[in-house]
Every structure is written in C-alpha cells, then in structure tokens.
Structure 1
Amino acid sequence: MREFVATELCVHQARWDDMDREIGYSIAVRQEEISSAEEAQLADQLFSIDATSIAGITAKIDGLIATGEPGETSDEFPWPELRKIRSNLFQIIHQPIGHTG
C-alpha cells in the first residue's frame, strides 16, 4: 500500500508540475511576492520621509489608502474619512490663486 500511495503521489505531482509550467502559476505567485515586498519597501520609504508640502501630504495619504484600504468602496473607519481628507487636500491644491474658501 505504501508503494502504491508513493507512486500515486508522484503521478499526481507530475501532473501538477506539468500544469503549473503550462499556466505559470508558481511563477505568478513568486512575482506577486516580489511585487508585494517592493510595495512594502516603497511604502516604508514614503512614510519615513517628512512631507514638505500639501502635495506631499496628499501623496502620503494616497499611499496609505492604496496600501491599506481593503477596497475602494470600504465604508469602515477610517477609509471614508481618509478619502474625504484626500479630496479636501486635492481641492485646496487646485483652487484658483487668490480664492479663499
């Protein structure tokens, strides 16, 4: 029985390996892991530097939302609030010169 199970496992593994090469699953998973690590490194860099402008603060909020938000329409705290803050900052940045509001 042990020999039969070992043979069946080898056959199953060979089928898996063939399909994996055909569809590229393992390569895609590895690339996703690399991309996630790069994203985390870039986010760390973004959040470790001081913003020196409203545009810089907006970029940090964008980065925070992009890396942390569970979905673009999440209504759980703090995501709607952060999206509103980002929108407010965008409006301030793009106000006509001399406008006070």
Structure 2
Amino acid sequence: MNIKLSDWHPEDIKAAIRKKGITLADLARDAGMAGNALRLALSLPRAEAERVIAAALDLHPMVIWPSRYHADGRRKQPQPADNYRAARRFGNAESLSHAEAAV
C-alpha cells in the first residue's frame, strides 16, 4: 500500500501557532518579514517562511508540507505545479492527515 502524508491544513498550522501563544504576525515581525509573508506560505511554497513557521513549532518544514520536500528532507526544486494551484485541496482519500500519521 502506498501511503502519502498530506500537507497540514492552513487552519491546523495557525491553530498550532496560536497554541504556542504567538501569531503569524508576531513570527513575521520577529523574522523581519512582511506581514503577509507567513500567511502566503500556508498555501504557496515559500522556503524562508516555511522555515520560520516550522521553527516556531519545533518541526522540520517537511513535516508540515510533505508535498514540498523529498523523502530525505531536501526541498523540491522546482516545486510541483500542483503546489501553486489556487484551489489546491488538503489531503485526499489516499492520504493520511498529520494527526493520523502520528498515531
């Protein structure tokens, strides 16, 4: 069986950050980034913003966005075209959510 992990849903990422007592705006400000830079990374590939978010959650960005990374942790270059689709879906019937994968 070929099991593929799905990217975290943007709301799950925001909730995890809020549970740390911070906001995306706080993280962006602390990193010297534009206010919307981290918000954009929730749905579009943005390497630096992904690293900032993942570091705040004590995770590797690959854990949050597996579609953007190879299995060995290297970032995909170039990113798959599906990672830029505006109507991108988060997960599908063949994927496990990050919560299910942790079990």
TM-score by length of 2: 0.24
TM-score by length of 1: 0.24
Structure with greater helix percent: 1
> Which has the higher relative contact order, 1 or 2, with Cα contacts under 8 A spaced 6 or more apart?
2
